[in-house]
Structure 1
């Protein structure tokens, strides 16, 4: 039951990171996305688009890693699955920590980004 809970939170964390990928890499200059990331002007969005594009792919790869870990875990490859889930979740948590350390006003986005990953990581450790 503990690893099932970890897997559920890994999927939630992955879904969040896949959504962030869409925002950062595919929709960065859309007004709604600019509002989410507090980008003030279209000029600022254009100036930061390449950075956001790259960062979005980091989020994509973390999300895919977490999902692949869940697939491997459910397919019976316990060590490989837990390793991938743990690495992806820890990376997500650490990125959220960096976000809040760099800007205290970003606590809410950091909790969204890292909260499910932290819960996943805790249950992964408990179930290992």
Structure 2
């Protein structure tokens, strides 16, 4: 079950790196604006906010990847703590999105599903 959790965690981390790219580097591009439902004017006005928010996603991904590296190096306790923290934060961020902007529940579901499954698999892997 640990291997399943590691695969899910890695994919969740990669998704959050992609979100970082869209928010911090590609925010004003038409494709990113379409994903986030913003006009060119809104994207210009919110560029600094999106840039900052993108880095939160990158740092969550880095926490997960660092945890995976510790797990693979045989430090299961440290690695699992980092993976739990990263995935848990991703899941909670998705819940905040769903609660604060119900019209974005589909995005929240996409953002939160992998972390949730990864957390469940990791919990089962640690317990079993």
Q: Which residue of 2 aligns with 1:62?
A: 60
Mapping of residues 1-128 of structure 1, within 5 Å? 2-39=1-38, 41-128=39-126
Unpaired segments of 5 or more residues in structure 2? Answer: none
Deviation of the 1:4 alpha carbon: 0.5
Q: Structure 2 length as normaliser, TM-score?
A: 0.96
Q: Deviations over 1:47-80 (max 9, x none)?
A: 1000000000000000111111111101101111
Runs of 4 or more consecutive aligned structure 1 residues displaced over 3 Å after TM superposition: none
Deviation of the 1:104 alpha carbon: 1.4
Q: Structure 1 length as normaliser, TM-score?
A: 0.96
Deviation of the 1:125 alpha carbon: 1.1
What CA distance in whole angstroms lies between the structure 1 residues aligned with 2:118 and 2:41? 38
